[in-house]
Amino acid sequence: MIDAKRRALIFLTLAFILAVVAAGFILNQIRMAQESLGETVKVAAAGSDIRSYTSLEESDIEWVEMPRSSQVSSFIQDEKDLEEAIAVVNLNDGDILTKNVVRKKLDIPAENRVVWLNPTSNVVIDQAITEGDLVDVYSVMETKSGVTTERLLETVPVVQQEELQTDNDDESFGPAIRVSLDLEQAEKLIHAQNAAKQIRILRVNQIAAEAEQAKKEAEAKKAAAEKEEEAKAKEAAEKKKAAEKKAAEDDADEE
């Protein structure tokens, strides 16, 4: 009888302890959920109607508080993402700005075009490349005489770089780049993208390239200065010759 009472007391004690632990756990989960629902972040929204391909100014944007959720990652939360940016779709007053409706402006010459180079089965980017880098583009073509490799483009500027994400945000297809080319170069690259067996993108040693460019510019400047000096000397000689001729004619008239 005493053993039965002891076992019952032990059972009740354990049940009470487990009930207290369970209650504490549930209360903690409720508190965490309330804190999560109460936590907010500031996201960018259109402060007025904005037409597509319009530069975004500070006065066009207002920052609104939103509850933190899994979808917030696609919203713009950093002012730097809106620097030198444009809207690619029409936005109404109050629309939340997401990363796919805003992009950076590209500062390229009017006669140039921007060509997209994304990693595919035939496009290989050998090194990490970022905006502002210079790259060489090589193409590998299959011809009747065999496989040929040539440098298609040399020291072309990269104007944008972007990581392409898969449907799973934790995975990436790799970096994609945009390069600024004149019309003839753009045609060559687009043809190669469709016809080449492989395209390789190689980053240029920019220090060496800039040094070589500076050397070429210095040589061109020196040649231009020498040509200008020659032109001045030739002009001075012609003037001297004309003056001597006139003086001789004047002497002949006096005689």
| pLDDT, mean over the chain | 79
Distance CA 137, CA 133 (A): 13
Residue 159 CB contacts under 8 Å (≥ 6 apart), including other chains: 106, 107, 108, 114, 131, 178, 179, 180
pLDDT of residue 128: 81
Please give the CATH topology (third level) of the domain spanning 40-104: Type Iii Antifreeze Protein Isoform Hplc 12 (3.90.1210)
Cα separation of 150 and 185, whole Å?
14
Is residue 168 scored above 60 in pLDDT? no
Confidence of residue 162 (pLDDT cuts 50, 70, 90): confident
pLDDT in tens, 6-57: 777 777 788 778 887 887 888 777 777 666 555 778 888 888 888 877 788 8
Instruction: Tell me the HSE value of 57 on the side-chain side, using a 13 A CA sphere.
Output: 7
Could you tell me the pLDDT band of residue 198, with boundaries at 50, 70 and 90?
Answer: very high
Name which of 88, 101, 7, 6 is nearest 45 in CA terms.
Answer: 101
Tokens, residue 205: 């040693």
Beta strands in 35-133 (DSSP E): 40-46, 54-55, 61-67, 85-87, 102-104, 112-117, 123-125
Compute the distance between CA of residue 251 and CA of residue 255 in angstroms, rounded to an integer: 6
| pLDDT tens-digit series, residues 223-234 | 888 888 888 888
Q: Give percent above pLDDT 90 in the chain.
A: 9
Look up residue 236 and give its two tokens: 């001075």
C-alpha–C-alpha distance, residues 108 and 131, integer Å: 13
Alpha carbon distance 176, 159 (integer Å): 11
pLDDT at 250 over 80: no
In the prediction, which pLDDT does 245 show?
75
Judge contact between 105 and 83, C-beta under 8 A: no
CB 162 within 8 A of CB 106: no
- Fill in the DSSP letter of residue 98: B
- Cα-only R_g, the chain: 36
Mean pLDDT over residues 63-82, rounded? Answer: 76
> Structural domain boundaries of the chain?
40-104, 112-204, 220-255
What is the arithmetic mean of pLDDT over 153-159?
87
What pLDDT, on a 0 to 100 scale, did the predictor assign at position 238? Answer: 82
Give the model confidence (pLDDT) of 48-71 as tens digits. Answer: 888 877 788 888 888 888 776 656
